[in-house]
A and B are shown apart, each in its own frame.
Chain A
Amino acid sequence: MSSADFQPKIVGFLCNWCSYAGADLAGTSRTKYEPSIRIIRVMCSGRVDPTFVLEAFNRGADGVCVIGCHFGDCHYLEGNYKAARRMELLKNMLKQFGIEEGRFRFDMASASEGDRFAQIVNEMTEEVKKLGPYVKYEGAIS
Chain B
Amino acid sequence: MAKLKVAGYWASSCGGCEIATLEIGANIVKLAELADIVFWPCIVDGKYKDVEAMTDGEIDLCLFNGAIQNEENEHQAKVLRAKSKVMVAYGSCSYEGCIPGLANVANQEQIFDRVFVSCPSVDNPDKVIPQTSYQAPEGELTLPKIYDTVRPLAAVIDVDYFVPGCPPTGEQTWAVLEAVVTGNLPAKGSIVGAGTRALCDECKRNKEEKKVKKFYRTHQIMPDPDRCLLEQGLLCAGLATREGCGALCPAAGMPCTGCYGPPDGVVDQGAKFMSAVASIVDSNDPAEIAVILDDIKDPIGTFYRYSLPSSILRRVQIK
Contacts and interface: CB of A to CB of B under 8 A. Distances in A.
A19 to B, nearest CB: 17
B284 A54 contact: no
Given A49-B271, A93-B299, A140-B147, A98 B317 contact: yes
Given A51-B272, A141-B149, A89 B299 contact: yes
A90 B312 contact: no
Interface string B293-319: 110101110010000000111011111
A58 B271 CA distance: 14
A104 B149 CA distance: 25
B274 A93 contact: yes
Contact of B300 (A81, A93, A136): A93
Contact of B279 (A82, A99, A141): A82
Contacts of A55: 267, 312
A88 interface: yes
Interface string A125-142: 000000000001111111
Interface in A46-92: 49-51, 54-55, 57-58, 71, 81-82, 84-86, 88-90, 92
Classify chain A: how many residues form its interface, as a range: 20 to 34
A113 to B, nearest CB: 19
Q: Indicate the member of A58, A93, A98 with the most B CB atoms within 10 Å.
A: A93
B289 interface: yes
Given A54-B268, A85-B279, A138-B315, 6 more contacts: A49-B275, A54-B313, A86-B278, A86-B279, A92-B299, A97-B300
A96 interface: yes
Contacts of A98: 316-319
Interface residues of B, number: 40
Contacts of A139: 107-108, 147-149, 315, 318
A49 B266 CA distance: 11
B245 interface: no
Contacts of B139: none
B278 A140 contact: no
A23 B144 CA distance: 55
Contact of A138 (B149, B270, B283, B299): B149
5 contacts: A50-B271, A51-B267, A84-B289, A90-B274, A96-B105
Nearest to B300: A96
A54 B315 CA distance: 12
Contacts of B274: 50, 86, 89-90, 93
Nearest to B268: A51
Contact of A85 (B272, B289, B313): B289
A67 to B, nearest CB: 15
Interface of B: 71, 74, 105, 107-108, 147-149, 151, 267-268, 270-272, 274-275, 277-279, 281, 283-284, 286, 289-290, 293-294, 296, 298-300, 303, 311-313, 315-319
**Most central of B277, B293, B296 by chain A CB within 10 Å:** B293
A92 B105 CA distance: 15
B317 A50 contact: no
A101 to B, nearest CB: 13
Given A54-B312, A96-B300, A139-B315, A85 B293 contact: yes
A139 B317 CA distance: 9
A71 to B, nearest CB: 7
B278 A85 contact: yes
Nearest to B316: A98
Contacts of B108: 139-140
Contacts of B298: 96
A58 B312 CA distance: 7
A85 B281 contact: yes
Contact of A141 (B148, B281, B300): B148
B64 to A, nearest CB: 18
Contacts of B149: 138-141
Contacts of A92: 293-294, 296, 299
Given A50-B271, A51-B272, A138-B149, A88 B278 contact: yes
A81 to B, nearest CB: 5
Interface in A1-60: 49-51, 54-55, 57-58
Nearest to B298: A96
A93 B284 contact: no
